[in-house]
Amino acid sequence: MRDRRESRAGWDLVLGVVAICLLVLAPMAQAAGSNDVVKVYAGVNGVWFDDDAAPSDFELGVHGRASLSEHLSVVGSTWYGLEGSYFLGEVGPRVTVTDVDDTAFSIGLGIQWRASSDPTRRPEELAYDAALGWRPFPNKWKQFVVGARGLYGVESNQLEVRAAGRWEIWSGFAAGGAQ
């Protein structure tokens, strides 16, 4: 089991990478002419750790992304598990593998570094990431996104599946200035 210093080091890594992305990479993408470089969402996840039909936990939190190009983004999120009373932070690169001009549907593949306040329940490790996002009402509620995500822990061999609902709460660093 990891001690508190190792747990703290994981959180420091997550926060450091997020800060670098926001302070350095987002303005670089803005200079390259990308639109809506940074987006932030508030949301809820249903999480399945095992093969039960009912979710193992529900999480509340925020998710953000900084686009470095049309197909490459850095994503990060912080979640609070309601049943397990844990905090979870994740950050890493993700590649969009679908048509970037279709803003109502996307699939991304990536790898995430995860740090948790309860490493026995949610291990601190790298995890392979596959995500799907869909805007079911792109004309009426373009801020609303439904998603699904699967993660596979590199060290723990733990598979996790999430179903998500998110609402865009902020976007900025657009080519014409912050929105």
The pair of three-digit structure tokens given for residue 73, joined into one six-digit string: 């983004």
Please tell me the predicted confidence (pLDDT) of residue 100: 80
Average pLDDT taken over every residue of the chain: 83
- C-alpha torsion 114→18→98→142, nearest 10: 110
* DSSP codes of every residue in 96-107: E-S-TT-TTEEE
Residue 175 pLDDT level (bands cut at 50, 70, 90): very low
Please tell me the predicted confidence (pLDDT) of residue 123: 85
Give the whole-angstrom CA distance, residue 108 versus residue 2: 31
**Which residues have a Cβ under 8 Å from the Cβ of 99 and sit 6 or more positions away?**
none
93 in helix, strand or coil?
Answer: strand
Q: Which residue has the tokens 């992305």?
A: 21
pLDDT at 176 > cutoff 50: no
70-124 confidence digits (pLDDT tens): 889 999 999 999 998 999 999 999 998 888 888 899 999 999 999 889 887 788 8
Give the whole-angstrom CA distance, residue 39 versus residue 70: 14
Q: Which domains are seen in the chain, by residue range?
A: 4-172 (2.40.160.20)
Residue 49 pLDDT level (bands cut at 50, 70, 90): confident
- pLDDT higher for 27 or 178? 27
The pair of three-digit structure tokens given for residue 110, joined into one six-digit string: 């990536």
pLDDT > 90 in the chain, percent: 53
Query: Best-predicted range by mean pLDDT among 12-21, 93-102, 127-136?
Result: 127-136
Task: Tally the residues of the chain.
Answer: 179
- pLDDT higher for 105 or 8? 105
Backbone φ, ψ for residue 5 (5° rounding): -65, -40
